[in-house]
Amino acid sequence: MNYKKKVFLSITLLLILVFAGCDNNNKTYSLKIDTIGEGNVVKKPNKEVYEKNDMVTLKAIPAEDHDFAFWEGAIRSTEPEPVIIMDKDKHLKANFGQKYHFEDFKDEDEIFHDNESIKAERTNEKYALTMKRANLFTRIKSFQPEPLPVDFYGEVDLEFGKTDSYTVAGFHFGELESDNIITVYNSEEKHIKGKYRLLLVNTEGKYIIKETEVYEPITEENDVKYEQYQKYNEMPIIEQGEIPGFEKDKPIKLAFSKKGDLYSFYVNGLETEQVVDSENMKPVFYLLALHTKDSREVLKEEVTVYFDNYKILSLDSK
């Protein structure tokens, strides 16, 4: 190949690469947003198409007596004002729900339950669960709306009291027969009633999703009926990770939704898991303290978890 031909081919190849790059840089993308339920979405800037890497701020605005629930599609989050980067065509769905139930615990302080194992009270405009013994479950039952909507979204702010102890807290998903829960230590001969999901966060900035076997209830000497759970350390971990934006001494927002047969779990706005279920899944607050092998041993340090701003939305559908 002679020198002139080499130069010509080199220039041609260079021009092809330059124009290909220019074409890629000039590519535009569309942003489609559907709303489900009563509300609308404002986008800034508001354009028909966007250039590559354009930043778009969205704001979900609910109608009266409604609230924003979550996004589906290109982003999966409960954040009502996210910022997205246009690097491809994107399709989003904004889900709104009608206000169904809300608790801010601003009524007068009241002790609901106090014994040698747990204490449940409304104090300082929060609901507080204090654990006095290790490896015992307790939960908020009195504020659970009955019945729940067929499709719903719910969230709560959760905050750990000052403690150096390892503690997890969160939601239980499953319908229980009895109000009291106890850990089983001889599960080999127990009849398994079902398997429920647990959405947990801990004092170390981690979220954990576990699955537990639940066994037939037992009645103890005091005639109290207990639902029996698998041992915490034997519960398989379905998913775990870092809590987004975790800071000690600041509330963690836990959220959940049921839409059709799909359950989604969120921690500080981030969707952590989706699961297709199941009969009888419903959210129930509980606190689990795990310190020793003896499920009835008194803790050297009482552990408290605070709940606030608990709300349930009934999801509209089209």
- Please report, for the chain, the start and end positions of each structural domain, with discontinuous segments joined by +: 28-101, 104-315
Report cis status (omega within 30 of 0) of the bond before 236: no
Q: What is the DSSP letter of 221?
A: T
Hey, which residues does 226 pair with through a beta bridge?
180, 218
State the 10-residue block means of pLDDT for the chain, 318 residues long.
57 55 70 96 95 96 96 94 95 96 91 85 91 70 76 92 76 66 62 80 89 75 68 84 91 92 90 73 67 60 88 80
CA angle 205-312-160, nearest 5°?
25
Q: What count of residues does the chain have?
A: 318
The whole-number pLDDT of residue 292 equals 44
Record the pTM: 0.82
| Helical segments of 132-234, H only | none
The whole-number pLDDT of residue 123 equals 93
The whole-number pLDDT of residue 8 equals 55
Check if the beta carbon of residue 265 is closer than 8 Å to that of residue 256: yes
CA distance 181 to 287: 11
CA distance 267 to 159: 13
Signed CA dihedral, 78, 81, 82, 86: sign only = positive
- β-pairing, 180-183 with 225-229? parallel
Hey, which residues does 172 pair with through a beta bridge?
198, 284
Q: Of 137, 142, 108, which is closest to residue 125 (Cα–Cα)?
A: 108
CATH number 2.60.110.10 is the correct assignment for the domain at 104-315: no
The whole-number pLDDT of residue 230 equals 76
The whole-number pLDDT of residue 233 equals 78
Residue 38 tokens read as: 């009563």
CA distance 184 to 182: 6
The whole-number pLDDT of residue 171 equals 82
